[in-house]
Amino acid sequence: MSKKPPAKSGLSRRLHRAWQRLTPRASAYGHAAPAEPWWRHSVIYEIYLRSFQDSNGDGIGDLKGVVQRLDYLEALGIDAIWITPFYPSPQVDFGYDIRDCRAIDPRFGTLADFDELVVQAARRGIRVLLDMVLNHTSEEHPWFRDAVRSRDSEYHDYYLWSDGRTNENGERLPPNNWVSYFGGSAWEYVPAVDRFYYHRYYRQQPDLNWRNPGVEHAMFDNIAFWLERGASGFRLDAITGLIEDAQLRDEPALGGVNALGDPRLDHIYTDNLPETHEVIRRLRAMIDTYPGKRVLIGETYVPRTSDLDAWYGGSQHNELHLPMDTLVGLGDRLDATAFRKHLIEAATELHDSQPLLVFDNHDRVRSWDRYGDGVHDAEIARIIAMLLLTSRAAVLLYQGEEIGQRDAPPKRIEDVRDPMGVRGWPEEKGRDGERRPMQWDASPQAGFSSNPQTWLAVTADYPELNVERALADPDSLLHWHRHLIAMRARYDALRSGSLVVLDRDDPHVLSYARVSSDGNVMLVCLNMSPTTQTIRLNLKSAGLIGERLRTLLSSPGALPDVEIGTPVALPPYAAWLAAVRERPRPEPAAAARS
């Protein structure tokens, strides 16, 4: 008996049908099918899975919980969700320590739940992006269990080993001064093989040896597994540290110690190596063979915007589609001059690649607390949202950011869940503060879980601050986000227009225009100071034509429409989005007669 040939696409028929709905998307606003790939102007929503929605009462968020909240996400207007790792894991680093890259941890659901999520999301025009960890595995991964048995094990060379050094007392020492990002030496001794293995993060997260072609082959196969199951792409964790110096040289000391008490090092031998870019180029070539414009997002912390260019592949555009820009939005100060500088760099130093802006994620104190001054926090959150959603960029939103969820770091060490906080207490409190459960409504546990024992406590302000209340209040930060996302979709200038930065010397007000290819102009002015600032916009000197500014969105309160050239008083921490309108022109024939 002959077997049926496998489905050509590898997608089930149901999944295939759901995917049909994802392209093209912009037709709802009367545009032709967009020539640009979907991700270029997308709004991507990060779901920190453990804290989004618990469906079965165990106190931990799960995939079925995400399905329950898809209608909310559809109404918000996002294009894709990125879900933090759901693979089987001992959870030493909350899922970024993977035991099996092709399965779902039972605490988060099943492969069937994943398939259902992809279909249900696609029906709502939402793509699903996965978080993939290529740099390391869990120490419980079968490869590593085999690798530590013997130097002759099949998988020994899947990891990075060194014999280390021996001092005059006969003590075994690591081969060099490399430190783990989570504290202490990055090398761990294994007596059974009489060798040290390298771990960039916790010792339970051994780094893979990407100089071994077998590693690349196996990990690319894992990527393919999920692409065939309907993943629209990946956020690649810790991607800049894939490969280390072959000679294992000491890294230069920068002087001083970090929050974990280790010497500060210049990571020239563990980060950004040319060989890592070669891997990314091969990965990009592989992913581009799949239909539907799959996307590669990178967790790319670099010191300068120009360093980000290499992760796009420079002028070749053949590496990551969207390496994350952490320089614009992950700072600490509401500073018009600094934002302006970074936005200009992102527009001019990336070979026309598309920036991916982010203000909030699961590793950083929430933007509400970082940029707020304790008095004008609500106005400042609107400034941040407008900056994020009207910049020339793809956008990452983090769950809870849209309602202004606050950071709530633990107050006692016994409440700390993040091992980084346990180790670094009290200087380093870890990342629990920004990872607390999503605040859905005023019911117990904020509607996140039926279980009073949630894995991390819900923040106490949830009865006042939650999605349900925000939806009922037309002036809420949530509706501010919804308006901005809707305008991005509606106006070419805001979605895909070029960026023209105005008034480059103003230390208080960040002003820029977005100009569509057919000449429509949108203006954004953000007063980042506690005093009223009177501005006089000179559009003509920026080469822009217009007579009148019509307010589309403003805070605090409504700003009037104005004639261009007349002074505009922007209240403290004002955010203003306006359309530039021309006066109706006389008919050409009439003009000729006059």
CB closer to Ca ion out of 125 and 241? 241
Binding residue for Ca ion (CB under 5 A) from 46, 62, 188, 401?
A: 62
Map 136-177 to HEC letters: ECCCCCHHHHHHCCCCCCCCHHHECEECCEECCCCCEECCCC
CB 252 within 8 A of CB 148: no
CB closer to Ca ion out of 56 and 258? 56
Q: How far is the CB of 275 from Ca ion (least distance, A)?
A: 11
| Separation between Cα atoms, residue 266 and residue 435, nearest integer Å | 29
* Cα-based angle 585, 586, 589 (whole degrees, multiple of 5): 135
At 548, is the secondary structure helix, strand, or coil?
strand
Residue 402 has which token pair? Answer: 């849209």
Q: How far is the CB of 236 from Ca ion (least distance, A)?
A: 12
Question: Hey, CA dihedral for 131, 136, 137, 138, is it positive or negative?
Answer: negative
Q: How many CA atoms lie within 13 A of 375 on its CB side?
A: 5
CB closer to Ca ion out of 49 and 343? 49
DSSP string across 23-76 = SS-GGGGTPPPPSS-GGGG-EEEEE-GGGT--SSSSSS--HHHHHHTHHHHHHH
CB closer to Ca ion out of 136 and 483? 136
Q: How far is the CB of 403 from Ca ion (least distance, A)?
A: 22
Residue 146 falls in the annotated catalytic set = no
CB 562 within 8 A of CB 548: yes
Chain centroid to Cα 98, Å, comes to 20
Determine phi and psi for 307, rounding to 5 degrees.
Answer: -70, -25
297 contacts Ca ion (rule: CB under 5 A):
no
Q: How far is the CB of 159 from Ca ion (least distance, A)?
A: 10
Binding residue for Ca ion (CB under 5 A) from 9, 12, 23, 56?
A: 56
* Region binding Ca ion by CB under 5 A among candidate stretches 95-103, 207-215, 300-308, 431-439: 207-215
Question: Residues binding Ca ion: what is the number (CB under 5 A)?
Answer: 8
Q: How far is the CB of 63 from Ca ion (least distance, A)?
A: 9
CB closer to Ca ion out of 66 and 396? 66
Task: Read off the DSSP letter of residue 208.
Answer: B
Q: How far is the CB of 478 from Ca ion (least distance, A)?
A: 25
* Region binding Ca ion by CB under 5 A among candidate stretches 132-140, 249-257, 427-435, 461-469: 132-140
Residue 299 falls in the annotated catalytic set = yes
Residue with tokens 């993060």: 201
* Region binding Ca ion by CB under 5 A among candidate stretches 133-141, 218-226, 315-323, 468-476: 133-141
Bond preceding residue 24 cis, omega within 30 of 0: yes
Q: How far is the CB of 276 from Ca ion (least distance, A)?
A: 8
| Separation between Cα atoms, residue 404 and residue 378, nearest integer Å | 8
Q: How far is the CB of 242 from Ca ion (least distance, A)?
A: 5
Which among 498, 494, 547 has a CA at the least distance from the CA of 524? 494
Q: How far is the CB of 64 from Ca ion (least distance, A)?
A: 8
Please report, for the chain, how many H helices and E strands are present, in that order.
16, 23
| Separation between Cα atoms, residue 512 and residue 510, nearest integer Å | 7
Binding residue for Ca ion (CB under 5 A) from 10, 25, 37, 58?
A: 58
Hey, which residues between 406 and 435 contact Ca ion (CB under 5 A)?
none
Binding residue for Ca ion (CB under 5 A) from 207, 251, 345, 402?
A: 207
Residues 46, 299, 379, 407: which is the catalytic one? 299
| Separation between Cα atoms, residue 554 and residue 383, nearest integer Å | 10
CB closer to Ca ion out of 77 and 241? 241
Q: How far is the CB of 279 from Ca ion (least distance, A)?
A: 11
Which among 151, 152, 175, 155 has a CA at the least distance from the CA of 163? 175
Residue 425 has which token pair? Answer: 């207490």
Binding residue for Ca ion (CB under 5 A) from 60, 104, 381, 578?
A: 60
* Region binding Ca ion by CB under 5 A among candidate stretches 23-31, 205-213, 224-232, 252-260: 205-213
* Region binding Ca ion by CB under 5 A among candidate stretches 76-84, 92-100, 128-136, 413-421: 128-136
* Region binding Ca ion by CB under 5 A among candidate stretches 59-67, 221-229, 295-303, 458-466: 59-67
CB 225 within 8 A of CB 219: no
Residues 97, 237, 271, 319: which is the catalytic one? 237
Task: Sketch the per residue contact string, 98 through 117, with Ca ion: x for CB under 5 A, - otherwise.
Answer: --------------------
CB closer to Ca ion out of 120 and 450? 450
Hey, which residues between 134 and 153 contact Ca ion (CB under 5 A)?
135
* Region binding Ca ion by CB under 5 A among candidate stretches 84-92, 236-244, 432-440, 542-550: 236-244
Binding residue for Ca ion (CB under 5 A) from 85, 183, 206, 241?
A: 241
CB closer to Ca ion out of 67 and 487? 67
Hey, which residues between 332 and 351 contact Ca ion (CB under 5 A)?
none
Hey, which residues between 35 and 54 contact Ca ion (CB under 5 A)?
54
CB closer to Ca ion out of 60 and 487? 60
Give the count of beta carbons closer than 10 Å to the beta carbon of residue 313: 19
At 134, is the secondary structure helix, strand, or coil?
coil
CB closer to Ca ion out of 27 and 453? 453
Question: Hey, CA dihedral for 346, 295, 99, 361, is it positive or negative?
Answer: positive
Active centre residues (catalytic) = 237, 299
The contact set with Ca ion (CB under 5 A) reads 54, 56, 58, 60, 62, 135, 207, 241
